[in-house]
Structure 1
Amino acid sequence: MKMNHNKFMNCVVIFIFLFGVLYFSLNSYFQNKMVYSLNITGVVEDIHIGTRDKSSVVLKFKNTDKFNKAIGFVKNADKNVIKKGDSIFKPMFSYQAQVFRKDATNEYKFIFKIKAR
C-alpha cells in the first residue's frame, strides 16, 4: 500500500512540473506573438521598469489609462534611454520599435531602434 502511495505522489509531482513548464512556455509564445502582431504608436507619458524582469521597460502612452504591456517586453532597454515625451512607433508584424525625440525646433527626429523581443 505504501508503494502505491509513493508512485501516486511521484506522478502528481511530475504532472505539476510538466504542467508548469508547458504553461510558462505557452505563455511566453503567445506574448511574443502578441507583441509581433500589434501596431504600437504613441507619445510616452510614464516609464516603469518591469517588476518581474528588471531589464524590461513598461510604458504608458498619453491619452491612455493603462500601461502598455506589449512594449514591456523590450529587453535590455535602460529606463534612461527612453524618456517622457518620446514618440514610439512599432509597425505590425515587426519586433522593432523606433524611438523619436523632439529637437530644438520642436519636431520629432529619429533617435534609435529597439528590438521588442
Structure 2
Amino acid sequence: MSEETWLAARLIPTSGINGADEQERRATSALLAVMSAVREFGRALTQPWGAPAGQVQTFIEVPFRLGDGKFFPDGLIRVSRGQRQWTALVEVKTGSTRQPSTSASSRRWRCTTFRGRRCSPSP
C-alpha cells in the first residue's frame, strides 16, 4: 500500500466505540495525534529512542508485507529533519486485550543496527 493511502492519526478518531479493537484504535490515534501536534511531547517520547529533533508525522494501522503475510501495526511514527528520517512501529494494548496473530508484534523483531535503523524478524 502506498504512503499516500496511510491514515493520519486524529485527536478525535472516527472509529466506532464498540469492542476492544476499536478502543485500541481510538487510544492509538489520540496519543499519536497529540505527539504530532505538541512538538515538545513528541520530542520527549521519541528522543530517548534516537529520533532526531524534527517534524513528527503519525499514522494508524499502516499495512506492511512480510513474506506472504500482511501485518497492521497499530501505529507508525516518523520523524524527519533534513535528509534524516527516523521511523518506529507502535503496538498498543488497552485493558486485557489479547494480541491478534496478524499484528506486527506477533513475530519477534530484533534490530540489526541501533537507533531506529533497520530491523528484521528474528528466526
TM-score, normalisation: structure 2 = 0.28
More helix, by proportion: 1
**TM-score normalised by L of structure 1:** 0.29
Structure whose alpha-carbon radius of gyration is higher: 1
